[in-house]
Amino acid sequence: RGTCACGTTTWTSTTAPTHLDYCYCTQCQRISGSPFIAWLGLPHTSVSVQGSIKTFRLLVSSGMNSIATRSCCADCGSTLSMQYDCYKGEKVHIAAGTVVEGEIGDGVGRCHIWIGDKPGWYDVAGDGGERWEGFDEGFAERVRRYE
């Protein structure tokens, strides 16, 4: 479970996350004001959001069309989620910074994506997670088929 900064929008999940992605794409940097956003992958049907959210779409760093809908708290603007179009109904990504401390789990697979967009002044943690210049090829192909 998690909450936005002001506490008016909360979310719960009936399952543990399947993975944790650290995204260094330009959009995630601009939205977060930091070098990356950490996203938890969860089955879409396991997540329930309570409160008022605002949704929006942005182009991706690679020049592709907008491929995801992002959401934030309508009151405080905290980033909450990202729903890739090609995963609609299957999987949703929840901003890990909204999680109530201690509920992510140690066994969750970690991956650093869009390393090529990372700011030069930031060093990626040596956490043993995979590192990709963009999306992994399987996901990139899924996006291409969906477009």
Distance (Å) of CA 121 to CA 34, 80, 117, 124 = 11, 26, 12, 10
11 pLDDT band (50/70/90 cuts)?
A: very high
pTM of the model: 0.83
Contact 80, 95 (CB under 8 A): yes
- DSSP code for 138: H
SS3 126: coil
Paired with 18 in beta bridges are: none
Q: What's the CATH code of the domain at 24?
A: 2.170.150.70
Mean pLDDT score of the chain, rounded to an integer?
Answer: 84
Looking at the structure of the chain, the number of domains it has is: 1
Look-up of token digits 């996350």: 17
Measure the N-to-C terminal CA separation of the chain; round to a whole number of Å. 32
Write the pLDDT tens digit of every residue in 45-99. Answer: 999 999 999 988 766 555 555 678 889 999 999 999 988 877 777 789 999 999 9
Residue 82 sits in which domain range? 2-146
